[in-house]
Amino acid sequence: MENMRFNGLDKFYDIDKDLMESAALAEAKCMAVFSQVEQTSEYNQYKVIKAFQKNEISETHFIPSTGYGYGDRGRDALDRVYAEVFGTEDAIVRQNIASGTVANTIMMFANLRPGDEIIFAAGIPYDTLLDSVGIRKGAPGSMAEYGITYKIVDLNEGVINHKGLINAISEKTKMVFVQRSSGYDWRKPVMINEMAELVRKVKAINPQIIIAVDNCYGEFVEKQEPGDVGVDIMAGSLIKNPGGGICPTGGYICGHTDLIENCASRIYSPGLSREVGSSTADKRLMFQGLFMAPHTVEQCLKGAVFAASLLKSMGFETSPEYNDERGDIVQLVRFANKEQLVAFCEGVQKGSPVDSNVKPIPWDMPGYDDQVIMAAGTFVQGASIEFSADAPVKEPYIAYMQGGLVYSQVKLGILVALQSIKNREII
Ligand SMILES: *Cc1c(COP(=O)(O)O)cnc(C)c1O
C-alpha cells in the first residue's frame, strides 16, 4: 500500500517517510494553482497549433539546407510561426543565434547607432549583457565602444519606476529595454500588464522610441506575450522556454519588420539580409520544440510551485511564494548557510536523469566576484528549461532554480536535495 501512496518514490529512492508526507501535504496545497497553470498552458497550446496551421507547416519544412541556404522554406516558415505566436509583424529564428545573450545583443546593436542612448527600465540588465553594453568594461566590441550610451532606472519596490523612467528619457533615447524575468535578483518579474503601461507612457512622450524586451524565461508563462501589448521587439533563447526542451540550440528575435531587417543585416550582411543562412540542423526540433513549449513551461511552473510550497513549509524563504502570480519560470530559495545551499545544489544534480553521478562544486566562474555552484543534469548542454539550480556562494545564500521537462522529476529533485540536507544534519 505504501508504494501506492507515494507512487513509487519510496520504492526507488531513500527518502524519509516524514519528508514524503510533507511533500504530499505541500503538493495538495498546490492544486488550485496547478489548475490555473494548466489553463494558461491550454490557451497557449491552441495559440501555437493555430499558428502552425495558418502557416501550413508540413514535413518539407523540416529539411535541412546547405551552402548559402537560398530558398530555405522551413527557415522562413519558422520565422512566420514565431511572429504569429509572439504577436509581432516579423521574426528571425536561427540556430546560429547561439544563446539568449547573443539574441539580446543583436537586438540592441542592430537597432542602435552612434550617439543613441538606451535606457534599462527594469534595473541593471542580465549579467552577461553587461559586457555587450559596456557597463562592465574590458571586453572588446561593446556598444560603448561604438558611442552608444546607457542609463539604468532601478525598479521601485519591485515594479517599474515610471516616473524615474520618464525623467530619464532624453532627445537621445532610442530604446527602452525591459528584462521580463527576475534573473539573478530577488525581485518580481515584470508582468505583461506592466509592459503595456510602460508602452503607453513611453510612446506618449515619443512614439519613435523602440521598446525592447529581454523575454528569456518569460515565454508562455502568461496568456499574452510582449508583442500583444505593443512591445516593438523582443529576444530569447531556444534552449529555454520556446525550445520546449527539445530544440538543441538557437535564439529568436521577434518584432516589427524594419527592426528585424536591421537584425538580419547585422547577423548576415546588409543587402543579403534574410536571403541567406542555411540550417544544417534538423528544423523539426525547432518546430517541435515550439509546439511542446506551452506544455513544457506548464511542467516547469508546477515544479516551481511545488518547490515553493514544500520549501516554505520547511521554513525556507521563497520568491515567489507558491500561490503568487508568476511572470517567469524562476524560483528563488534562500538558505540559512553555505552548507545548506551547496547540499541543495548537489541534491538537485543527484536527482537528474543525466550526470546524476557528477558532484557540482563551487568554482570561480569568469565574470563573477564570488564562487558559483551550478547543478544541471541536462540532455542539452546548459539548457535551463531542464531542471537546474545555480547560486553564487555568498550571503544571502540564494539558489535560483528553474526548468523541468517533467513535473515528477522536479519533485524528485527537490526531495533528493532536501534529503541530502537532512542527511548532513544541517537543517
Ligand atoms: C538566460 C538569460 C539571458 C542569457 O541567455 P543565455 O542563453 O544564457 O546567453 C539573458 N537574460 C535573461 C533574463 C536570462 O534569463
| Mean local confidence (pLDDT), 18-28 | 96
Phi, psi of 400 (to 5 degrees): -105, 115
Q: Which three cell numbers stand for residue 388?
A: 537546474
C-beta of residue 409 within 8 angstroms of C-beta of residue 354: no
Distance (angstroms) between ligand 1 centre and the Cα of 292 equals: 20
Nearest residue (CA) to ligand 1, atom 3: 100
Query: Would you state the pLDDT for residue 368?
Result: 73
Query: Domain map of the chain by residue range?
Result: 4-43+291-423, 63-280
* Cα-to-centroid distance, 384 and ligand 1 (Å): 9
Burial 293-324 (b: 16+ CB within 10 A, else e): bbbbbbbbbbbbbbbbbbbbeeebebbbebee
Q: Which residues contact 115 (CB under 8 A, 6 or more apart)?
A: 147, 148, 172
For ligand 1, pick from 107, 237, 331 the residue to mutate: most ligand atoms within 8 Å of CB.
Answer: 237
> Residue 125 gets which letter from DSSP?
P
- The yes-or-no verdict on residue 346 having pLDDT over 50 is yes
Query: How far apart (Å, rounded) are the C-alpha atoms in residues 2 and 8?
Result: 8
β-strand pairing of 372-376 with 388-392: antiparallel
Element housing 194 (H / E) = helix 192-205
Cell numbers placing 356? 546524476
- Closest ligand 1 atom to residue 183 Cα is 13
Q: 184 or 71: which carries more pLDDT confidence?
A: 71
Distance CA 387, CA 381 (A): 12
Predicted TM-score (pTM) of the model is: 0.96
| Band of residue 340 on the pLDDT scale cut at 50, 70, 90 | very high
Averaged confidence pLDDT in the chain: 94
Among the atoms of ligand 1, which is closest to the Cα of residue 128?
A: 4
In ligand 1, the atom with minimum distance to the C-alpha of 330 is: 15
**pLDDT at position 36:** 98
**Strands, E assignment, 228-300:** 233-237, 251-255
DSSP string covering 326-373: -SSS-EEEE-SSHHHHHHHHHHHHHTSSSSTT-----B--TT-SS-EE
Handedness of CA 374, 377, 380, 381 (dihedral sign): positive
Predicted confidence at residue 367, as pLDDT, reads: 62
Q: Which three cell numbers stand for residue 380?
A: 542539452
Right CATH for 4-43+291-423 from 3.90.1150.60, 3.40.50.12280, 3.40.50.1240, 4.10.95.10: 3.90.1150.60
Q: Return the best residue to mutate from 177, 216, 332, 381 for the ligand 1 pocket (most ligand atoms within 8 A of CB).
A: 216
Taking the centre of ligand 1 as the mean of its atom positions, its distance from the CA of residue 100, in whole angstroms, is 5
Cell numbers representing residue 101 in the block:
545573450
pLDDT of residue 425: 76
Contact assessment for residue 373 and residue 345, using Cβ atoms and an 8 Å cutoff: yes
Q: Which residue bears the cell 532606472? A: 153
Q: How far is the CA of 216 from the centre of ligand 1 (A)?
A: 6
The DSSP bridge partners found for residue 177 are: 120, 212
Q: What element of type H or E holds 263?
A: helix 257-267
What pLDDT, on the 0 to 100 scale, is given for residue 281? 79
Confidence class for position 1, pLDDT limits 50, 70, 90: very low
Within 6 A (CB) of ligand 1 lie 99-101, 104, 126, 128, 179, 181, 183, 214, 216-217, 237
Phi-psi region of 250 (alpha: psi -120 to 50; beta: other; left: phi over 0): left
Region 91-120: what's the mean pLDDT?
Answer: 97
Does 364 score more than 80 pLDDT?
yes
Report CA torsion sign: 300, 301, 302, 303. positive
Closest protein CA for atom 6 of ligand 1: 100
Give percent of the chain with pLDDT exceeding 90. Answer: 88
Closest ligand 1 atom to residue 217 Cα is 15
What's the rounded mean pLDDT across residues 202-228?
Answer: 98
Beta bridge partners of 117: 149, 173
CB contact set of 231 (below 8 Å; sequence gap of 6+): 178, 195, 199, 211, 212, 213, 255
> Beta-carbon neighbour count of residue 203 at 10 Å?
15
Could you tell me which CATH number the domain at 63-280 has? 3.40.640.10
Choice between 187 and 169, residue whose per-residue pLDDT is larger? 169
* φ and ψ at residue 355, rounded to 5 degrees: 55, 35
Residue 362, C-beta contacts closer than 8 angstroms, at least 6 positions apart: 342, 371, 372, 373, 393
Report the separation in Å between the CA atom of 235 and the middle of ligand 1, taken as the mean of its atom positions. 10
All cell numbers assigned to 102: 547573443
